[in-house]
A and B are shown apart, each in its own frame.
Chain A
Amino acid sequence: MSQPIRIHAARDFKERSLAALNDPAQRKNFRGAMDFLQMKRRAQFGDKDELTTLRDLGEAIRRYALANLPELLEQLERNLTANGIQVHWAETADEANAIALGIARRVDARLIAKGKSMVSEEVGFNHAMEAGGLETLETDMGEYIVQLAGEAPSHIIMPAIHKTKQQIAALFAEKIPGVAYSEDVDTLIRIGRQVLRRKFAEAGIGLSGVNFAVAETGTLFLVENEGNGRMCTTVPKVHIAITGIEKVVARLEHVPPLNSLLPRSATGQAVTTYLNLISSPRKPGELDGPEEVHLILVDNGRTQAYGDLQLRATLQCIRCGACMNHCPVYARIGGHAYGTTYPGPIGAIISPHLRGLEATYPLSFASTLCGACVEVCPVRIPIVDLLVRLRNEAQAREGSADATLRGSGAARTTLVSTIWNGWALIYSRLRMYRITSWFMSRGRAQSPVEQGAWTRSRTPLTPAPKRLRDLIKETNQ
């Protein structure tokens, strides 16, 4: 089963979001799902004081980890290695895939059973493995559905959120031999269970993500509800975990507060069915578990965000998805319109580091800056400030002090910069400002009716009949 590679130019974002807005069935799916997830989260955080304390702590834990990131990564590597887990470092997506392919070739694996991992989506893992002659199989039910459909996840926690049970029933009947059409969810899950169960034993490698990597003990901490993550990390002979370099936490005792915030923010669950803490491969005498465990630590642009004290906050993220669940833009256009692995507000602030601003700058503009994401972020990432910063970067002049990122200035156009330069010129000179505003208020009847994108869904902008200074003058008389 292959997944298409997705190469999306920035300009396609507008087209994709327009298409999504005009898809009433999909909008209904997302609206329903978002309302459900918001309600579930609210029910978890009834005690506001508890939430405040927990968010303070969650933010402090993540900021502490980032402030000491290089030392903690080295400590993590030392302790994992001492525990028998092999650590690999990848600067780019290609390097991460090459490491995994190298392991697969050495152990002669043909099938890789995958637990849910957004970093594997980020690096195009499935495509790279297939190009290398390996088969990959997604085993999280949502991811399995999405892979079967040849699509990409539309939400980081609930990958198949855009699909109805009717669509899934049709998909199963079409793609799985011997399966009859059924819309019964229990039946559909039972089918998935049966198909996938046989595959865990066949797979030479199990792949997983990591929720938190504990430096102090050399432990990989994974959360899940289904048990497929445990299958992938226990049944195949080799387990490869792949994660971003920012996922490290200093101490084991830092995990419980984050683990309280994560599922409650994500799906409104107090806890996931399984917490899976892995600290070593199979030891002598043990009867199951992988004989080799590997961790691939991926940079892929994260060090760019780390290099800037403001943008570093992006890396505090624990990938709960609450920001997208509460985003008025995401709720309307859905995950695919973003064209990036991570959609929604977190996608808008992390993707520029992973893929450069050229490909991703429209995402930071696709926000009303309403701040709903900031209000729910369990680790208090100042998402709105970061969006504004990325807008400025996107408009910055090449070589100027404001242009610090890969692709800075990508959104800059002669027309827009000329308009803003003119505006700056007028507004910084009193006489010119007075004359211009006098002409504008007197000439308001001549305001153009067509004002580009503005008038596509709004009434035209018209200057006020009287300037502010005229009004003040009248009031004072």
Chain B
Amino acid sequence: MSARDRILGRLRAAPKGSPVALPDIAAWHATRPPLATDAALAKFRSNMEAAHAEVHDTTAQDWPLLLARLAAEKGVRTLLFGPDTPHGAQLAASAPAGVELVPYDRPVAQWRDRLFDGIDASITGARSAIADTGSMVLWPDANEPRLMSLVPPIHFVLLDAARMHANLLAAMLSERWASGMPTNALVISGPSKTADIQQVLAYGAHGPREVIVLLCLASGGKP
């Protein structure tokens, strides 16, 4: 008999106890009404900023200009991007001056050293966002791999303001996560941090020191 069989055997041999009803998640969800669009955006912004991230308003057309300005301000010289995404193509067409665009286009093993030591910043899209906790949902894939949002010290995130959910459960339900999970799903709420030394908060523990959200609004923003 295997360890598996013995463990399951002991669990099955245990007394059953009274049956426990399936938890009523829908009832709990109903107690948390959806937020109006403006309120959700305001909450997302204030939570993100409280977590030490920056949120800048822009539009789906103008964000490359905003990115160019922010990259220049922060001294970004190398920017990692996914060339096969629509926003990657848009960026390549209007590359910011003085910034080398580095495509993530081969397996990590072929260029690990440069990724870890030679990249100042990255830009990825976000699938959606969560107002309640000030979080962004990323589903990395072949076009925008997992390490893009982790290794470079600065992470720019392009977010469509229309993709705002009130909370994590709302995101999971309305995007039907349970019917097909990706290799890796991420929910990111600001820059990497730690309070492991005397409860003093420090940013940039292992992941990005800065997370900068380019929030694309339908009705414009300042570039």
CB distance from A353 to the nearest CB of B (A): 12
Q: Determine the distance from Cα of A296 to Cα of B183 in the docked complex, in whole angstroms.
A: 19
A188 at the B interface (CB under 8 A): yes
Query: What does the 1/0 interface line of A157-192 toward B look like (CB < 8 Å)?
Result: 011100111001000000000000000011011101
Interface residues of B in 126-162 (CB under 8 A from A): 132-135, 141-142, 145-147, 150
- Residue B15, interface by CB 8 Å: yes
B6:A142 contact, CB within 8 angstroms:
no
In the complex, are the beta carbons of A145 and B200 less than 8 A apart?
Answer: no
CA distance A259 to B173 in the complex (A): 16
Q: CB within 8 A of B207: which of A273, A303, A312?
A: A273
Bound-state CA distance A276–B147 (Å) is 12
A15: interface (CB < 8 Å)? no
Q: Mark A249-291, 1 if CB is under 8 A from B, else 0.
A: 0111111110110000001001111111111111101111100
Interface flag for B36 (CB, 8 Å): no
Q: Across the interface, name the chain B residue whose C-beta is closest to A79.
A: B181
Pick from A64, A225, A253, A309: contact of B15, CB below 8 A: A309
Instruction: Indicate whether A197 sits within 8 Å of B199 (C-beta atoms), given known contacts A73-B8, A277-B185, A306-B11.
Output: no
A-B contacts besides A235-B108, A289-B146, 19 pairs, CB < 8 Å:
A32-B199, A37-B199, A67-B19, A67-B20, A83-B181, A185-B198, A216-B178, A225-B194, A230-B206, A231-B206, A253-B173, A270-B132, A273-B51, A279-B185, A285-B142, A287-B105, A288-B107, A306-B11, A309-B17
A13 to chain B, nearest CB (A): 27
| Range for the number of chain B residues in contact with chain A | 35 or more
Q: Is the CB of A226 within 8 A of B206?
A: yes
Question: Using a CB-CB cutoff of 8 Å, which residues 210-268 of chain A contact chain B?
Answer: 216-219, 225-228, 230-231, 234-235, 245, 250-257, 259-260, 267
Judging by beta carbons under 8 Å apart, are A190 and B135 in contact?
Answer: no
For the complex, is A314 an interface residue (Cβ under 8 Å from B)? no
Among residues of A, the one whose C-beta sits closest to the C-beta of B211 is A273
Q: Which segment of B56-64, B91-99, B164-172, B213-221 sits at the interface?
A: B164-172
Please, which residues of chain A bring their CB within 8 A of the CB of B108? 235, 287-288
Residue ID in chain B nearest A251 by CB atoms: B178
Stretch at the interface among A53-61, A122-130, A443-451, A453-461: A53-61
> In the complex, A272→B6 CA distance in Å?
37
Report which B residues bind A (CB closer than 8 A): 2-4, 6-8, 10-17, 19-25, 28, 31, 47, 51, 104-108, 112-113, 116, 132-135, 141-142, 145-147, 150, 167-169, 172-173, 177-178, 181-200, 202, 204-208
| A299 on interface, CB distance cutoff 8 Å | yes
B194→A226 contact, CB < 8 A: yes
The answer to whether A90 touches B3, judged by C-beta atoms less than 8 angstroms apart, is yes
Q: For the complex, is A324 an interface residue (Cβ under 8 Å from B)?
A: no
Question: CA–CA, A226 to B195, complex, Å?
Answer: 9
Determine the distance from Cα of A438 to Cα of B56 in the docked complex, in whole angstroms. Answer: 83
Chain A's closest residue to B20 (CB) is A67
Given A226-B193, A253-B173; A276-B184 close (CB under 8 Å): yes
Cα distance, A462 to B168, chains bound together (Å): 60
Asked whether any CB of chain B lies closer than 8 Å to the CB of A36, the reply is: yes
Interface positions, chain A 45-77, Cβ under 8 Å from B, are 53-54, 57, 60-61, 63-64, 66-70, 73-74
A29's nearest neighbour on chain B, judged by CB, is B198
Residue of B nearest to A139 (CB): B206
Closest B residue to A298 by beta carbon equals B7
Size band of the A side of the interface? 35 or more
Assess whether B197 is in contact with A141, with CB atoms less than 8 Å apart.
yes
Q: Which of A89, A164, A231 contacts B2 (CB 8 A)?
A: A89
Q: Are B184 and A279 in contact (CB under 8 A)?
A: yes
B interface SS class: loop
Partner of B147, one of A288, A297, A309: A288
A-B CB contact pairs (8 Å), 19 listed: A74-B8, A145-B196, A145-B197, A164-B198, A193-B205, A226-B205, A227-B192, A227-B206, A231-B150, A254-B23, A257-B25, A274-B207, A276-B186, A277-B181, A279-B185, A286-B142, A288-B145, A289-B146, A303-B10
Q: How far is the CB of B63 from chain A (nearest CB, A)?
A: 24
A471 to B105, CA, bound (A): 90
Q: Which residue of A lies closest to B10 (CB)?
A: A303
Closest chain A residue, CB of each to CB of B105:
A287
Q: Are A274 and B188 in contact (CB under 8 A)?
A: yes
Q: Measured between C-beta atoms, what is the minimum distance from A441 to chain B in Å?
A: 48
Would you call A366 an interface residue if the criterion is a C-beta within 8 Å of the partner chain's C-beta atoms? no
Question: In the complex, are the beta carbons of B23 and A60 less than 8 A apart?
Answer: yes
Residues of A within 8 A of B2 (CB): 89
A354 to chain B, nearest CB (A): 15
Q: Pick the contact of A287 from B3, B142, B178 — CB < 8 Å?
A: B142
Q: Which residues of B contact A160 (CB under 8 A)?
A: 196-197
Q: Contacts A226-B207, A228-B205, A289-B146: A272 and B189 contacting too (C-beta < 8 A)?
A: yes
B150 touches A227 (CB 8 A): yes
B146 near A279 with CB under 8 A, answer no
Contact B198 A234 (CB under 8 A): no
Are B7 and A91 neighbours in the complex by a CB distance under 8 Å?
yes
Could you say which residues of chain A place their CB within 8 Å of the CB of B184? Answer: 234, 276-279, 289
Cβ contact within 8 Å between B12 and A70: yes
Across the two chains, which residue of chain B brings its CB closest to A64? B20
Q: How far is the CB of B127 from chain A (nearest CB, A)?
A: 12
User: A109 — which chain B residues lie within 8 A by C-beta?
Assistant: none
Quick one: which of B17, B107, B181 contacts A217, CB cutoff 8 A?
B181
CB-CB nearest 9 A-B residue pairs: A227-B207, A142-B196, A275-B187, A227-B206, A226-B205, A89-B4, A271-B133, A279-B181, A227-B192
Residues of A within 8 A of B167 (CB): 256
Docked CA distance A253–B173 (Å): 8
**Out of B21, B105, B169, which one reaches A64, CB within 8 Å?**
B21
Tell me if A201 counts as interface (CB < 8 A to partner B): yes
Asked whether B183 lies within 8 Å of A273 as measured between CB atoms, the reply is no
